[in-house]
Amino acid sequence: MSPPSRIGALVAAQRRAERLRLRIAAAAAAAVTVAAVGLLGLSGWFITGAALAGLGGLAAVQAFNYLMPSAVIRLLAILRTGARYAERVAGHEAALRALARLRPQLFAALASGSPGRALALSSGEASARLVQDVNAVQTLFVRLSAPWGALAGAAAAIGLTALANATAALLLALCMGASAAGSLLLARRLSDPAGRAAQIAVGSLKTRLSALESAAPELRAYGLETWAVEDCADRARDLDRSRITLTLAAGWLTVWQTAAAAGAVVLVTLAVVSAPAPLAALAILAALMGMDSTAGLASALHQNGAAAQAADRLDALAASPSKTGAEQAAPSSDTVALLGRSVSPPFRLAVVGASGVGKTTALERLIGLRDAPAGRFSLGGVDAADLDPARRRALFAYAAQDVRLMDASVRDNLGLAGAFDDETLWEALDDADLGDRFRRDPKGLDAPIGPDGARLSGGERRRLALARAYLRSAPWLVLDEPTEGLDAATEARVLAALDRRLSSRGQGLILVSHRLAPTDLCDAVVRLADERSALALGQGGQPVGLFDPQLVQ
């Protein structure tokens, strides 16, 4: 049995929250189709009756009541316009309000969910899901009024046609049923697969564009711009083909709707041939408009495939990992057991080792950015594998080796760590040896840094990420190559400030570095031969044997 759809539950919750607006939209849609059917049918009756009265002479003209029908026609025209406006406003407002709440919920699900799932998504794919797929889900709200409009229009058309002939009304009902059934079949056979393919193709194109954009400097350096353009063009052509197929499916739906409408008009005309001319005109035009009222339903069916594929993709994004009883427990202390040691703040531990042995991976498993294997790490006496990643991340402030920055101001990038006053922000920048750099900028904390910090040097980008980690209140500060790319003088200032900051706050430090100077700040150094083994190093880097977890309490 498949697990319940979380996106389905979120959409259902938003439908309940927007129940009033959706009901207004449905009622307005019904009013639109009823008014449209009545307007065309009554106009046909009125024009035909007036023509016959004119042919009947002056007495017939004087007896013909043209005031009441013309007033009703004007009323129906106003009602149709007003109801259409109400339907669009209420339906789209409900959809937009719901989507405004859905996007943060989905982003929170991605940020707090399984690390393996989150890391498997590229930035382009995540963007496509949170933008393109959520926009497609909008149709799950907007199209809710379509069935009500179609049913109301059908009922009005059948009722008016019955005034001329019961047989005509029955034939019209059968034609409407055939039209709806055929539209449903065509949508499932043609529109659904094409809509799903188009939704996937959009995600693929955005993923590729994001990947190539991030590698733009390398592509220019190696003269691969033409290859990149062609590669994107191939993805764009896939998207174009899927959209062409989707458009062709819409065309076949239109052809079927037109053929069904033409058949309905012919059958109704034959059935009312013996009825009075005004009623015959009313029945024929009402039948035509009644068949047209099902076009909105066909349009909704045409969008089913894209909406369903978007919902499936979002459901994978929003899926929650199963919770166990152990995952509900919180760590009882700030003690961390890793690589054979149990340490607590303000202890400082350095992890060194050759490139590729898994130092960064070990840290990411510890702090909840990757899934933790059972029995490898514990936090506060609880196996890290049994803790929700969000509970693990709460214990650590992290500055990664791979620095990621927003295309925004210095203040906005620091603000990811929380809301702080300017004094606190400047203090963090000073401790990262960046305060003077941004004080010289006329915009100060509001200075833009460009896409991923393009306006900063490599060392400045790293130190800005370090300042952001300083702002987060957590028992442990975890730094991965914090001084990589810095000259000796800058490194000395950064490390001196780091030493003072750790001492004043009583914060623990877990450090990964290939450089000797940062490890001098630490109480112990672990050389990692692989992700499962650790060797203790004493003064001067001499090995002193495998760590015993009881050596440091």
In this predicted model, what pLDDT tens digit does every residue of 245-286 receive, in sequence order?
A: 989 998 998 899 899 999 999 999 999 988 888 889 988 988
Mean pLDDT of 168-178: 92
Q: Do domains 6-318 and 329-545 have the same CATH topology?
A: no
- What is the reported pLDDT for 119? 65
Q: Which candidate, 512, 550, 498, 479, places its Cα nearest to that of 335?
A: 550
For a pLDDT cut of 70, what percent of the chain falls above it? 85
The mean of the pLDDT values for the chain is 82
Backbone angles phi, psi at 346, to 5 degrees: -100, 30
Mean pLDDT of 476-489: 92
Q: Is the torsion defined by CA of 518, 522, 528, 532 positive or negative?
A: negative
Q: Is the torsion defined by CA of 308, 311, 317, 318 positive or negative?
A: negative
List the single range of 155-169, 256-270, 371-385, 482-496 with lowest mean pLDDT: 371-385
User: What is the β-pairing status of strands 543-545 and 382-383?
Assistant: unpaired
* Radius of gyration of the chain measured on its C-alpha atoms: 34
- What is the reported pLDDT for 377? 81
Whether the pLDDT of residue 367 is over 80: the answer is yes
Whether the pLDDT of residue 167 is over 90: the answer is yes
- Confidence class of residue 411 from pLDDT cuts 50, 70 and 90? very high
Domain ranges of the chain: 6-318, 329-545
- Confidence class of residue 319 from pLDDT cuts 50, 70 and 90? low
- What is the reported pLDDT for 453? 87
- What is the reported pLDDT for 206? 81
Q: SS3 for 315? A: helix
The model's pTM is: 0.67
Angle at 476 (CA atoms; ends 531, 514), nearest 5 degrees = 45
In this predicted model, what pLDDT tens digit does every residue of 91-125 receive, in sequence order?
A: 888 888 888 887 787 777 766 666 666 666 666 66
Q: Which candidate, 367, 347, 353, 338, places its Cα nearest to that of 478?
A: 367
Mean pLDDT of 44-61: 71
Q: Which position has the higher pLDDT, 132 or 224? A: 224
Q: Which position has the higher pLDDT, 116 or 320? A: 116
CA distance 481 to 544: 25
List the single range of 109-118, 256-265, 306-315, 535-544 with lowest mean pLDDT: 535-544
CATH homologous superfamily for the domain 6-318: ABC transporter type 1, transmembrane domain (1.20.1560.10)
- What is the reported pLDDT for 478? 94
- What is the reported pLDDT for 547? 37
Q: Which position has the higher pLDDT, 344 or 95? A: 344
- What is the reported pLDDT for 60? 58
Mean pLDDT of 322-331: 51
**All residues at 6 or more sequence positions from 298 whose CB lies less than 8 Å from its CB, including other chains:** 183, 187, 253, 257
For a pLDDT cut of 90, what percent of the chain falls above it? 29
CATH homologous superfamily for the domain 329-545: P-loop containing nucleotide triphosphate hydrolases (3.40.50.300)
List the single range of 137-141, 187-191, 393-397 with lowest mean pLDDT: 137-141
Instruction: Tell me the range of 34-48, 389-403, 448-462 where mean pLDDT is highest.
Output: 448-462
CA distance 49 to 47: 6
- CB of 300 closer than 8 Å to CB of 143: yes
CA distance 428 to 466: 9
Mean pLDDT of 15-23: 87
CA distance 342 to 323: 27
- CB of 527 closer than 8 Å to CB of 516: no
Whether the pLDDT of residue 467 is over 90: the answer is yes
What number of residues does the chain have? 553
